[in-house]
Structure 1
Amino acid sequence: MHNEFPILSGGSGAAFLLDAPAKLSLTLSFPDGLVTIRQDAAFATVALVSHLSQEDAKNDAWRVLQEALDVLAARKQAMLQTADGDCTYLVWVKDGAGYELVFVDTADAPWAMSIGISMEGAANVVPAPSQLPPPRHPALRFYRLANLSADLFDAFRNAYLALECLASDATPKGSSESELNWLKRALAGPLLAGLPSGEIGPGTVDDIYRHGRLPTFHAKMGDTFYAPHDRERQSMQVRFDTLMLLVSCLLQHRFGHALVSRDASMSQSLYDSMAAASFTYDKIVFQDGELQASLPAVVQTVSSPRRFNQLWCRTTVARPASLHWIDTIETRKAGADWTSSVLDERVPLEGVNKISIEFNLLQYNSRSKRPVHRR
């Protein structure tokens, strides 16, 4: 716990978690705002000059922080990176003479599905073990690294290389053929049977190549390219999910269902009903050590825009006058504890008029990788 979280300042601002605490305190001043990194502190803060909306403040502060981390690395002052940028952060925006402070947190909600098979009249039959050797193919290496990488762009590049490897194995690229036309020909020909039914539309391959492969494999000034951790990460996460579905299906078609498995999934309506049932607390309790303030909560479930393709919720209350800091936020339903979140740092309430709490619910198959990249 750190008591030195800066008093909120600027026209707006945001704070993001670092992957590891800094070993020394550093500040960098840009025309857009001031970046503050404190020794051994969990959060890096960005106080922006402009009065921005919540979403714009988050995006601008994120951009400025990434640029600051670039400079610190180039100067050999610190090698730092962010963590859980879209999952856990604070934003403050102007509210009259003070601020509205927004806490954003993401709760993991993994689920599991198991299938049992019984055979009548076959009690004495012992299934023979499979004699098929395990598959060996370079595409499997790229696929594994795509699943393991915590960096979204690295994951996308490896997933694309897995697709490229499978396509070249199915049909060589012609000497005068463009890469996009070759990829389309492979997917419309020898790889067609492996495509996921109804998931790959007419423009999907164009989008993966033009807005995924090209801007993440090149960095030529004057051309369009995506720098890691920029605002394109949100669209790239969706593009990566589509690409991974495509690669998984092609691998399964190539090597068989028994050797390459796909993740089970639920319908969007079921995801939504599970999320809506979770967003039903009626009280928020703010704490600072032994002190606490309890306030009634009216929960707003938000379906547009979605976050991580799922519902999320928001609650706004007046700042409790009895507290000057917050170190824990709890929600309760009908008197019973619902959620509890111990903040990574003790946050000051000086200048704060309102506090908003936003909860994202990340529902996914427990056998799968968490479907959001940490950086």
Structure 2
Amino acid sequence: MSQAVELLNRGLDVFALRGLGAASLDGTGGIRIAYWESAQEKCVRLWARMDAALFTSGTAVVRAPDGSIKEEPEPTVLAWQESMRYYRMSQVTDDLFDAFRNVYLALESILSAIEPIKVGARGRAAESEETWFKRALASVADSVALDTYSAGGSGNAVHDIYDELHNRVRNRVFHAKDGLGALLPQSLESRVQVGEAKKRYSELYLEVASKQLNTPLGSGSTRLSESAMDEMREGILSRGPNLGFTSDTTPFDSADTELSPRGDPCVIVPVQAIDDPQASEGYAAVIGRTSVHEHASSVTTIGRFGLLGARATPG
């Protein structure tokens, strides 16, 4: 499937250069349709992603050792620092590579505020990027657990973070010299590497900035434990979801509760669940298979398909 996305991107690249209009793919991770033939059968693969959202709320009361309720302290005034601009832009852009660039610049900015780069008489850097970055990163090692953010390798977190962040991701995103392994925008393989690095180093920036600015900072989200994610997933899958499709071509509406709003016959395909090999931990793939000879002759085309329970009307 990644090959199909790459070929589509190459076609759009050619269209743009020919003056036929600039366009980009959107939502390739949400829905895909593939078709192929063999000597024995014709196959159509329908692939879609469904995310389950969890909403929680809670309150807490802080008490002193004697049981009395502690008064809420005055909120800390957060002084502005340039790195905040880069971090904010990394969160609002819908382009992954732009997001990574700004995360890198946010981290570079906050580290240079802590440990400035040495500047020579002419106002130019008097030390290499590597020398400064490693020194600046080492300067926060006493207050930040760098091992948490290191991809590992040498056992030296400062070296490993620099090697991954600067050499294996930053240089390959910022530069495009032929033969040096540049990371291409919208390449699925590149997106996995850049996305993982962007997430991890966003968290590193927040921790470094929190210590430097002397105030708690958060990403605005909470990660569930692996066991909690497993419980949620099993709860959903235990209700027996199935795959279904119908000839109904009614446009999709998020308020729909039926596979076929106009009441057309549907084909229901039982599924089995496996760990999704193309997604991060916690995701499950549900797989169903049916032959064209097994379902109703009234369902001769696929207008809508989806993951559903027992509410659709079999054809």
| Bin of the TM-score, shorter chain as denominator length | 0.7 to 0.9
Q: Is the 8 A contact 1:171 1:190 kept in 2?
A: no
The 1:139–1:162 alpha-carbon spacing in structure 2 relative to 1, beyond 3 Å, is: same
Q: What is the alpha-carbon distance in structure 1 between the residues aligned to residue 308 and residue 184 of structure 2? A: 42
Q: What is the alpha-carbon distance in structure 1 between the residues aligned to residue 173 and residue 307 of structure 2? A: 41
- 3-state SS of paired residue (1:111): coil
Letter in 2 for 1:246: L
- 3-state SS of paired residue (1:329): strand
Task: Give structure 1 stretches of 5+ with no counterpart.
Answer: 1-57, 338-375
Q: CA RMSD in A?
A: 2.6
Q: What is the alpha-carbon distance in structure 2 between the residues aligned to residue 196 and residue 277 of structure 1? A: 36
**More strand, by proportion:** 1
Q: What is the alpha-carbon distance in structure 2 between the residues aligned to residue 128 and residue 247 of structure 1? A: 26
Q: What is the alpha-carbon distance in structure 2 between the residues aligned to residue 300 and residue 327 of structure 1? A: 24
Q: What is the alpha-carbon distance in structure 2 between the residues aligned to residue 235 and residue 119 of structure 1? A: 41
Q: 1:176, CA displacement in angstroms?
A: 5.1
Name the counterpart of 2:247. 288
**Counterpart mapping for 1:123-202 below 5 A:** 127=72, 129-130=74-75, 132-174=76-118, 175=125, 177-190=127-140, 192-195=142-145, 198-200=148-150, 201=152, 202=157
Q: What is the alpha-carbon distance in structure 2 between the residues aligned to residue 246 and residue 194 of structure 1? A: 8
Task: Encode CA deviations 1:344-368: one digit per residue, 9 max, x unaligned.
Answer: xxxxxxxxxxxxxxxxxxxxxxxxx
Letter in 1 for 2:85: R
Task: Encode CA deviations 1:199-249: one digit per residue, 9 max, x unaligned.
Answer: 434323321221110100111223221121123111221121111111121
**Counterpart mapping for 1:86-105 below 5 A:** 86-105=29-48
Correspondence for 2:228 among 270, 273, 278: 270
Q: Is the 8 A contact 1:283 1:294 kept in 2?
A: no
Q: Is the 8 A contact 2:90 2:102 kept in 1?
A: yes
* 1:314 maps to 2:286: yes
Q: What is the alpha-carbon distance in structure 2 between the residues aligned to residue 336 and residue 257 of structure 1? A: 51
Q: Identity across aligned pairs (percent)?
A: 21
Correspondence for 2:51 among 108, 126, 131: 108
Q: 1:298, CA displacement in angstroms?
A: 2.9
Q: What is the alpha-carbon distance in structure 1 between the residues aligned to residue 281 and residue 307 of structure 2? A: 24
Q: What is the alpha-carbon distance in structure 2 between the residues aligned to residue 140 and residue 269 of structure 1? A: 34
Q: Is the 8 A contact 1:146 1:159 kept in 2?
A: yes
Q: 1:296, CA displacement in angstroms?
A: 4.3
Q: What is the alpha-carbon distance in structure 1 between the residues aligned to residue 33 and residue 228 of structure 2? A: 30
Task: Encode CA deviations 1:259-288: one digit per residue, 9 max, x unaligned.
Answer: x22332111232233223223425433211
The 1:114–1:254 alpha-carbon spacing in structure 2 relative to 1, beyond 3 Å, is: farther
Q: What is the alpha-carbon distance in structure 1 between the residues aligned to residue 231 and residue 39 of structure 2? A: 37
**Counterpart mapping for 1:34-73 below 5 A:** 58-73=1-16
Task: Give structure 2 stretches of 5+ with no counterpart.
Answer: 119-124, 249-262
Structure having the higher Rg = 2
Name the counterpart of 1:228. 185
More displaced 10-residue stretch of structure 1: 294-303 or 235-244: 294-303
Name the counterpart of 1:19. none
**More helix, by proportion:** 2
Higher relative contact order (CA 8 A, sep 6+): 1
Q: How many residues align?
A: 275
Q: What is the alpha-carbon distance in structure 2 between the residues aligned to residue 198 and residue 310 of structure 1? A: 20
Q: What is the alpha-carbon distance in structure 1 between the residues aligned to residue 269 and residue 50 of structure 2? A: 21
Name the counterpart of 2:258. none
Correspondence for 1:251 among 203, 209, 221: 209
Name the counterpart of 1:39. none
Q: What is the alpha-carbon distance in structure 1 between the residues aligned to residue 245 and residue 173 of structure 2? A: 43
Name the counterpart of 1:55. none
Scaled by the length of structure 2, what TM-score is found? Answer: 0.77
